[in-house]
């Protein structure tokens, strides 16, 4: 069975930061930075786009609640919100979840870089491809 389903059902222990009927937020075991938290639906959906929209919106409310708490109580100077959607994008646990990574300083263990090696030049063409 999915490890996050087991956590959401309290079948295996976790450090619960927030919980209600439909969403749970737990400390990530890896603690990329202090307070690194995962927000997930209790019900199993593989990626964020599989989550029903009302529930996805509620996940974002919980992200905001938890990010405020982490920022205030852990004195983080900022935070990153990250979702890895699909294996290619780095998703390792196939139960949708959003990472909240509190940030303390530039070299605190987390880094995001945008590489634009093959940048499409014709944005109008990209737009029409997206919108059909």
Q: State the residues that interact with Zn ion by CB under 5 A.
A: 2, 4-5, 44, 95
92 binds ligand 5GP (CB under 6 A): yes
- Give the burial class of 110: count Cβ atoms within 10 A of its Cβ; 0-12 exposed, 13-18 middle, 19 or more buried: middle
The nearest distance, CB 14 to ligand 5GP, in angstroms, is 5
* Catalytic hit among 36, 58, 95, 97: 97
In whole angstroms, give the CA distance from residue 23 to residue 40. Answer: 6
Specify whether the CB–CB gap between 26 and 37 falls below 8 A.
Answer: yes
CA 60 to chain centre: 9
Nearer to Zn ion, 5 or 81 (CB): 5
* Contact letters for ligand 5GP, residues 101-120 (x by CB under 6 A): --------------------
Supply the residues annotated as catalytic. Answer: 97
């Amino acid at each position: 069975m999915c490890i996050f389903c087991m956590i959401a059902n309290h079948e295996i222990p976790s450090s619960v930061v927030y919980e209600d009927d439909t969403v749970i937020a737990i400390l990530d075991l890896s603690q990329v930075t202090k307070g690194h938290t995962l927000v997930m639906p209790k019900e199993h959906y593989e990626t964020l786009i599989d989550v029903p929209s009302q529930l996805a919106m509620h996940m974002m409310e919980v992200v905001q609640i938890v990010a405020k708490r982490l920022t205030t109580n852990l004195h983080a100077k900022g935070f990153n919100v990250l979702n890895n959607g699909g294996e290619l994008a780095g998703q390792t646990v196939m139960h949708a979840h959003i990472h909240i990574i509190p940030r303390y300083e530039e070299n605190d263990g987390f880094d995001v870089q945008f590489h634009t090696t093959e940048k499409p030049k014709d944005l109008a063409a990209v737009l029409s491809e997206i919108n059909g």
